[in-house]
Amino acid sequence: MTITKLDEYSVGDYVGHRMEELGVRDYFVVPGDTNMILLDSLLIHSGLRMVECCNELNTGYAADGYARTSEAKTAVVVIPYTVGGLSILNAIAGSCSERLKIIVISGCPATSVLAGDKETHHTPSPSNKDQALHAFQGVTAAAVRAECFKSATNVIDDAIIKCVQQSLPVYIELPSDIAGTPCPFPIPLAQKVEEATQPNQNRAALEAVKNVWNSSHRPVLLLGSHAQVWLSRSSIHRLVERLGCAVLCQPNGRWISESHPQYWGIFWPGLLNPEGEKVVLDSDLWLALGVSWSDLHTLSIDPRKENHRLINLQHDVVELPGQKIIDSINLSDLISAMINSDAIRPAEFILSSKPPYLADIQAKIRNSNDALTVRSLLSGIQTLVQKNSTLVVDTGDTWFAASHVMLPDGADLHMQIPYASIGWSVPAALGAQVARSQGRVIVMVGDGGFQMTAQEISTMIRMKLNPIIFLFNNLGYKTETAVHDGPYNYPANWDYAKLATSFFDKPHAQPPNPYVTEKTENGEEMPVFAEKVHTQADLLRVIEKANVESGKLAFLECCIQPDDMTPELKVLGEKVGRGVSK
């Protein structure tokens, strides 16, 4: 960053400085007339990389993936006023359900325009210039607007601090005239966070957890997806070994080495791993860490009836049996205290054997013209998952399919189960690949979900990213057909492989972008390959190609028969379908 004079330091520069302090290295944008002054300021910061997405909804999904996988566990998006805000709102609602730290910065008209009565573009009516501001209040820790340049930096900092402390998204509107206004250089963000930190009740929480834990005889530890957001894998392993009990993960909370002797598989009652489910149901205490109790997680149990044996550890609260609640805790510090506490006794009940691993659904791939099946496809995906891979899995049967893929130590998996927004995975994979460039992202997405956010393939190609995308083309919304079939469940079939390559074309003029120094050569090698996979021989061939051409985006359209689905989807359809038909 180069600022030659103090009076050149603006509110926009202030935002960039705060991003760098948070550890953010990339931010996602859609430009508009209200945010360009801010974008110009951010471009000065050489430590920040701008990632332009195709639309605002996709910036939100990309930020979601980035917040899950980056070391900062924080993401930033910059969007235009109202039209951008209302477009990204759905993605931020999903991030709210996962307690992700995402800072949404929306440009907005100059303060004089906002204060006037003149009709303004991007507003639903002359009198309603606050629609996006109001809409975000339900899905953020703060939804604010900088009303004047004197208080702008405090408004920005207050929102960022809420994002950090509450582990929730925030929304900030920054008028275009304020973004370029000079302001003082900021004091360190860590200092302001510390000043805003309230005393916690960790000591009382530790004592209460200890008392309940030490009185149990057959405890288990349950891990949910929020544990990935708040705690490192190493701290989870230390806690697991300190407690000494069986550990099960929710399908989107696989945040422990699956070779660990205490790991007992996925806990998805009524759908997966009946041996592990029995261990949980037979236990007298569930220590649930970052667990979500959504209806999709708990198809065959009622969590409200389990409170008598449940310790629920969340970001800022501990819920204990007897409806006792201790709030204002710091979860990370509480977990460290539990690891280091000699007062917490290791579990005495030792499980004698482990269940068979769920990968038994996989089928050997034959070098033949036999039709591709879900089972053989899972075996193929398994061969590509490495220790630094990140699986990003869309809503639908791919949830269950991914649950049959074993994760090597160091591999991550991300799903969005509570909010279950179809199409989330493709732009989320963009964010994850940007954040975790040392390994390849592997995407599992259905054809219906892909049609919702397909554009972001073009961003991956433009940035020369190299994820592997498995498109499960089973000709429709198969999760919906399993629940309740109807003519509305069958979108048009696309030539997906051809579409993927169409996102890369030679520019018709040079230079195609005058702000980029590198030239686009006519003979430039296509940074993507796309293939249709009909047979098992096709699958073997494209897996080899994905390994050989590892620097390219690999787009694999897997043509599956419409009635080929996991056993779990059939069960889900029966359970949920009964509720739909009532």
Each of the 582 residues of the chain gets a pLDDT tens digit; together they read 444 344 579 999 999 999 999 999 999 999 999 999 999 999 999 999 999 999 999 999 999 999 999 999 999 999 999 999 999 999 999 999 999 999 999 999 999 888 887 788 888 877 788 999 999 999 999 999 999 999 999 999 999 999 999 999 999 999 999 999 999 999 999 999 999 998 999 999 999 999 999 999 999 999 999 999 999 999 999 999 999 999 999 999 999 999 999 999 999 999 999 999 999 999 999 999 999 999 999 988 999 999 999 999 999 999 999 899 999 999 999 999 999 999 999 998 677 777 665 556 777 888 889 999 999 999 999 999 999 999 999 999 999 999 999 999 999 999 999 999 999 999 999 999 999 988 999 999 999 999 999 999 999 999 999 999 999 999 988 888 888 888 988 899 999 999 999 998 888 888 888 887 665 566 678 899 999 999 999 999 999 999 999 999 999 999 999 999 999 988 888 877 655 444
pTM of the model: 0.95
- Let me know: does 156 contact 184? Beta carbons within 8 Å: no
Assess whether 461 and 499 both reside in one domain: yes
Asked if residue 5 is part of any domain, the answer here is no
Question: Beta strand pairing status for 246-249 and 219-223?
Answer: parallel
Assess whether 547 and 480 both reside in one domain: yes
- Let me know: does 358 contact 274? Beta carbons within 8 Å: no
Assess whether 256 and 322 both reside in one domain: yes
Assess whether 226 and 285 both reside in one domain: yes
Assess whether 192 and 207 both reside in one domain: no
Asked if residue 361 is part of any domain, the answer here is no
Strand order in the sheet with 528-533: 412-414, 390-393, 441-446, 468-473, 553-559, 528-533
Asked if residue 348 is part of any domain, the answer here is no
Assess whether 249 and 269 both reside in one domain: yes
Nearest to 445 by CA among 462, 469, 476, 463: 469
| Domain boundary, last residue among 158, 176, 196 | 196
Q: Which residue range is the domain that position 161 belongs to?
A: 11-196
Assess whether 90 and 186 both reside in one domain: yes
> Which segments within 336-447 are labelled E, that is strand?
390-393, 412-414, 441-446
User: Which ranges of 422-554 does DSSP label H, i.e. alpha helix?
Assistant: 425-435, 447-453, 456-462, 478-483, 496-502, 536-548
Assess whether 166 and 216 both reside in one domain: no
Assess whether 74 and 157 both reside in one domain: yes
| Domain boundary, last residue among 161, 196, 231 | 196
Asked if residue 223 is part of any domain, the answer here is yes
The single-letter DSSP state of residue 315 is S
Asked if residue 455 is part of any domain, the answer here is yes
**pLDDT value, residue 581:** 47
Assess whether 391 and 455 both reside in one domain: yes
Assess whether 74 and 188 both reside in one domain: yes
Number of domains present in the structure of the chain: 3
The single-letter DSSP state of residue 326 is E
Asked if residue 365 is part of any domain, the answer here is no
Other Cβ atoms within 10 Å of 536 Cβ, number = 23
Known binding residue 327? Answer is no
Assess whether 17 and 166 both reside in one domain: yes
Known binding residue 447? Answer is yes
Asked if residue 352 is part of any domain, the answer here is no
Q: Cα-atom radius of gyration of the chain, to the nearest Å? A: 25
Asked if residue 484 is part of any domain, the answer here is yes
CA 374 to chain CA centroid, Å, is 25
- Report the CATH number at residue 410: 3.40.50.970
| Domain boundary, last residue among 340, 364, 383 | 340
- Report the CATH number at residue 305: 3.40.50.1220
